[in-house]
Structure 1
């Protein structure tokens, strides 16, 4: 059972040497960014390991690089940019393959770097979802951030737009959530 700080009941979770505080704000966009605005792109395949808070990620960059990592996210239930604690471990291909054999739900997207945002354009049953994130190192940075005009709505506090929730969403649910924000991707 989760306690109100986002940890597992009976287990302390603290920022420090291994886990860092994750500060980000999320926004819905009506469409992908213009290619001329993109500085880097990568295709991301996320495997949310069943029954855990672990995400296994493969990121294939447009320049041919591949990044493999295991991430643990420990969310906190409070509004605002502080999302919880995050720990990343970079993996070798052999390590990735071992962990990839575990049962998981899959999510795929293309991430476009459009400073100051990372813009995710989702595939599969989440097609039509375009979600932008801005990450911060300090609370005051997050609070003073003014999103670009192409950001339709802020969804930082809407947990439906987190990877762990999106990976479980049906197409019908997603379309309903987007409609609440005035977005109708199938109509365009």
Structure 2
């Protein structure tokens, strides 16, 4: 977790993301508007690995046409919106709405060994890799008050109600 969004000069690509967590499933429908004008539509399933630490779970992505996206977007879902800034190897998510002010950084690696040898940047104010509350599937159901309480556990005091 970072205290602030990244400096614009460090960002290689940005995208505005709307995630729809389909109720009653482990599926996420994503619309990403990239800074270069492209749009990415996909359906994702993430299955966590029951192992602590920075080990990636199983992820399946299906890329969708606009018509396919629209059909799935009609299903009941919890919605999160954020802007993701790419600063390799990090993707930094700056959340909107009731999660405004939350800034999470996630590193992506090719191997588990790379992930395990990663040292978080100095701007990291809390390590939440093993805290399932900070996954999208949990955050989408989180109130502002719950988020403030969780952040306080890490010594971080969020603004607003």
Please report the TM-score for the alignment, with normalisation by the length of structure 2: 0.96
Alignment of 1:69-80 (within 5 A): 69-80=42-53
The partner residue of 2:107 within 113, 134, 137 is: 134
**Residues of 2 paired with 1:115 and 1:185: CA distance?**
27
Report the count of equivalent residues. 160
Please state how far the C-alpha of 1:76 moved relative to its aligned partner: 2.5
Does 1 or 2 have the higher relative contact order (CA < 8 Å, sep 6+)?
1
Segments ≥4 residues shifted beyond 3 Å: none
Alignment of 1:98-117 (within 5 A): 98-117=71-90
| Greater mean alpha carbon deviation, residues 37-46 or residues 80-89 | 80-89
Unaligned runs of 5+ in 2: none
Larger radius of gyration: 1
Please report the TM-score for the alignment, with normalisation by the length of structure 1: 0.82
The partner residue of 1:165 within 134, 138, 157 is: 138
Q: Which residue of 2 aligns with 1:12?
A: none
Unaligned runs of 5+ in 1: 1-27
Task: Return the structure number with greater strand share.
Answer: 1
Please state how far the C-alpha of 1:184 moved relative to its aligned partner: 1.8
Q: Which residue of 1 aligns with 2:116?
A: 143
The partner residue of 1:52 within 25, 32, 39 is: 25
The partner residue of 1:183 within 139, 156, 159 is: 156
The RMSD of aligned alpha carbons is 1.1
